[in-house]
Homo-oligomer: A and B are copies of this chain.
Amino acid sequence: MSQDNTPDEIPGAPSEKTRVRRYNWLAKYDRDTINAIIDAGMVCQVGYVIDGTPYVTPTNHWRIGDYVYWHGSSASRMLKSQSAGIPVCFTVTHIDGVVFSRAAFNHNVNFRSVMAFGNAKLCCEEEKRHALQVFTDGLAPGLWQHARKPTEQEWKATKVIRMKLDEVSAKVRTGAPIDDEDDYLSDSWAGIVPLQLIQLKPQSDPRLRVEIEIPDFIKNFRYGQ
């Protein structure tokens, strides 16, 4: 797979493009790790090219099996261009901490990220409707039944893109700093400051009718789970 393997490199990259090069000992190619990182959030960054210019658009994503999906307005520049099946780069990144080392060169960040290459594909009407229902219920089981269903007008205004997870890799850094052996005798402090994305209590819309209580599926909602 790799042309310049080093002893420390993690094997298993599905393609040369997907092979993690920098800090390649942090690479993960198993699907469970990759899926867990994708599923741990609902915002991805999609990279694509229009007229030679790179664009990166943050957007909601979700996963069904080996496919990732994102959606948007039928009028959006991103979705219009991607509907033609152009190459995209799909990434998800979570920041887990700041790593302070004994040497300036070794400061780092703990993170989990996924990078996938593929071709965007516009979903047909049937798959679009199915995929959006799965997205909504995946966010909070019961949410699809709870809220008003889209009108035909609203359906028309929405496109869904999917991409197969073929050329995909993950990169995960956890734990303590790694310093040069000599530096462990240093007087400098080293350690980590963990970061965590937490959710606060649900806040009802100020315009909500007073008799409406917070439903259980909202009380049970856990972001990224």
Contact = CB atoms under 8 A, between A and B. Distances in A.
Interface in A91-110: 91, 93, 95, 98, 100-105, 107, 109
Contact of A148 (B17, B60, B117, B183): B183
Given A43-B111, A111-B43, A218-B189, A54 B146 contact: no
A195 B199 contact: yes
A115 interface: yes
A123 interface: no
Contacts of A105: 148, 150-151, 154, 157-158
Counted per complex, copies of this chain come to 2
A98 B194 CA distance: 23
Given A42-B98, A213-B189, A93 B58 contact: yes
Contact of A202 (B43, B192, B201): B192
A189 B212 contact: yes
A136 to B, nearest CB: 6
Interface of A: 17, 21-22, 41-43, 45-49, 52-58, 60, 72-73, 75-77, 87-91, 93, 95, 98, 100-105, 107, 109, 111, 113, 115, 117, 132, 136, 139-140, 143-144, 146-151, 154, 157-158, 176-177, 183-209, 212-215, 218, 221, 223
Contact of A49 (B52, B91, B185, B202): B52
Which 7 residue pairs of A and B lie closest in terms of their CB atoms, listed nearest first? A47-B56, A47-B54, A103-B148, A58-B93, A194-B200, A191-B204, A105-B154
A214 B191 contact: yes
Given A21-B77, A107-B147, A195-B198, A206 B88 contact: no
A42 B95 CA distance: 9
A58 B41 CA distance: 15
Given A193-B200, A193-B202, 8 more contacts: A17-B53, A22-B72, A42-B98, A56-B90, A104-B143, A148-B188, A191-B204, A192-B202
28 contacts: A41-B95, A43-B111, A45-B47, A46-B56, A53-B87, A54-B54, A54-B87, A56-B90, A56-B115, A57-B91, A58-B113, A98-B221, A100-B143, A103-B148, A105-B157, A105-B158, A148-B188, A176-B206, A176-B207, A189-B213, A190-B204, A190-B205, A191-B204, A191-B214, A193-B201, A194-B201, A196-B199, A198-B198
